[in-house]
Amino acid sequence: MRFRFTQTAIDTAEARGELLDLGAGGYVSFEGWVRDHNEGQDVIRLEYEAFQELAVKEGERIVAEALRRFPVRHALCIHRVGTLALSDMAVWVGVSSAHRGEAFDACRFIIDEVKHRVPIWKKEHYRSGDSGWVNCERCAAAPHHGHHHEPAVSPVHK
């Protein structure tokens, strides 16, 4: 399983161990951390929710695509679900490769695709007491700003 979920803190040392390979000279990892602000609001915690049956299939497809597109050795992605506090790790991607360039490319490909294709949602809770589901602008009907914008928030006032 090259894409999986966890309800508890991601064990990056264990995950990295799965990528060790005597033929690998480069290893790149990405961690997504819960930060204290988004779109001008003070964030105090997040909730992640996933449609896991489909998400693990789509996640596996993304990692398999990365392994086909880039000549890397191993790749793995772990996503956390549930309630996360500031600076908690929400997602981890690791790639080992003979050469470093491909490891960077594959790692970035995986996190970009996971963020856009895998059915996972996050609800931000703000210091103000409001909360909102974070939406990918690329997926929204309007306005269309292209692919590289930051997430926007659909406020769901309590």
Partner 1 sequence: MQLKIQYYAVMREQAGRSEESLETSAATPADLYGELIVRHGFTLTREQLKVAVNSEFSDWSRPLSAGDAVVFIPPVAGG
**Residues engaged in binding partner 1 (CB under 8 A):** 32, 48-51, 53-54, 57-58, 79, 90-91, 100, 111, 114-123, 133-136, 139-141, 151, 154, 156
Binding of a second copy at residue 108 (CB under 8 A)? yes
Q: How far is the CB of 8 from partner 1 (least distance, A)?
A: 18
Of the pair 98, 136, the CB lying nearest a second copy is at 98
Q: Which does 86 bind (CB under 5 to 8 A by kind): partner 1, a second copy, none?
A: a second copy
Secondary structure in 3-state letters for the chain? CCEEEECCCCCHHHHHHCCCCCCCCEEEEEEEECCCEECCEEEEEEEEEECHHHHHHHHHHHHHHHHHHCCCCEEEEEEECEEEECCCEEEEEEEEECCHHHHHHHHHHHHHHHHHHCCEEEEEEECCCCEEEEECHHHCCCCCCCCCCCCEEEECCC
Binding of a second copy at residue 22 (CB under 8 A)? yes
Q: How far is the CB of 63 from a second copy (least distance, A)?
A: 17
- Binding region for a second copy (CB under 8 A): 13, 20, 22-37, 86-87, 96, 98-101, 103-104, 107-108, 111, 148, 150
